[in-house]
Amino acid sequence: MIIALAGGVGGARLAQGLVQVLGPDKLGIVVNVGDDFEHLGLQISPDLDTVMYTLAGIHNAKLGWGRAHETWHFMETLEQLGGETWFRLGDRDLAVHVDRTRRIRAGETLSAITAGFCARLGIRHSVMPATDQRLRTRVLTDIGELDFQDYFVRRRCEPAVRGLRFEDAQSALPCAALGRLIAAERITGIVICPSNPWLSIAPIFAIGELSSLIDAHRVPVVAVSPIIAGKAVKGPASKIMHELVGGSDALSVVEYYGVRVDGWVIDAQDAALAGRVEAAGHRVRVTDTIMSSPERARQLAVDTLALFDELDAAE
């Protein structure tokens, strides 16, 4: 079984490509929960929703989050009441947050809630929160430590990032389904989607049982670069990279993940870097990584999975 680690738009898009190639018995999606937060009394899980909506084909491609064909009456009314409207919740999207909050208060796990929503949305693959326990990304900046969404949305990533802290990660276990896959040694490969390495993937790596599986090299790991020609395809990744590691080209990401990754998929625009990535001990596949359509996402999924075959052959 391949598991794909995903967060944000890049992760959701590649997940959408992978599900076209591998059936639900061969692929599971593990989603970052570090962006989750309580807001307006609601439990909000942005990355789970972005992956879920994208796999269901009802995502808002323009915004990169939330639902398509959205209306904003709740937000307009909240504005009139003087409520907090910096984090925009569409009327359709709101139903997910309200029902997730109800079910969490009733004692359901995030995994069970997500599985329930996915079944209702016709998604056959398992979409798993990386953990069912609390794990929050805290952003250490030049104006102090901020909640993730405060930094990312309210302050639009303007503060300079000095570091990241994944609160409660040390006590977080993989969600039950993921823990069972690890224990049964059913995971045959890990795909790191082209999500923000620091904001979306690092919180997943912070979960001990998962990172020790990766660090023990018991399972091949293939990553798709989220950086193309020194720029993040979406989101603030290059600004954060400059602030955190001083560089923002695909090589900085290769160095950041280091030996945890066996194979890299990099964009044709970065073909010149392929030699240096190989010199660092990785197998490389150069292809078009811009997922501008589900068909392009499927093709990238095929290229990414092909690297596992090359890695097996090389063993």
Residues that bind ligand FO1 (CB under 6 A): 7-8, 35, 46-47, 49-50, 65-66, 87-89, 93, 149, 152-153
CA atoms of 136 and 125, how far apart (whole Å):
25
Q: Which is nearer to ligand FO1, 150 or 303 (CB)?
A: 150
User: From the CB of residue 154, how many other CB atoms can be counted at a distance below 10 Å?
Assistant: 13
Question: Which of 50/54 has CB closer to ligand FO1?
Answer: 50
Closest distance between ligand FO1 and the C-beta of residue 7, in Å?
6
- Which residue lies nearer to ligand FO1 by CB, 46 or 220? 46
CB of 39 to ligand FO1, least distance (A): 9
Q: For residues 35 and 262, which CB has a smaller minimum distance to ligand FO1 in the complex?
A: 35
Q: Can you say whether the dihedral through the CA atoms of 145, 129, 13, 252 is positive or negative?
A: positive
> Considering the complex, what minimum distance in angstroms separates the CB of residue 13 from ligand FO1?
12
Shortest distance, position 217 Cβ to ligand FO1, whole Å: 29
Q: In whole angstroms, what is the distance from residue 146 CA to residue 35 CA?
A: 12
CA 13 from chain centre, in angstroms, equals 10
**What's phi and psi for 56, nearest 5 deg?**
-85, -5
Cα–Cα dist 108/103, whole Å: 6
Compute the distance between CA of residue 76 and CA of residue 269 in angstroms, rounded to an integer. 43
Residue 17, classed as helix, strand or coil, is helix
Please identify, using beta-carbon distances, which residue of 7 and 17 lies nearer to ligand FO1: 7
132/122 Cα distance (integer angstroms): 22
Shortest Å distance, C-beta 98 to ligand FO1: 13
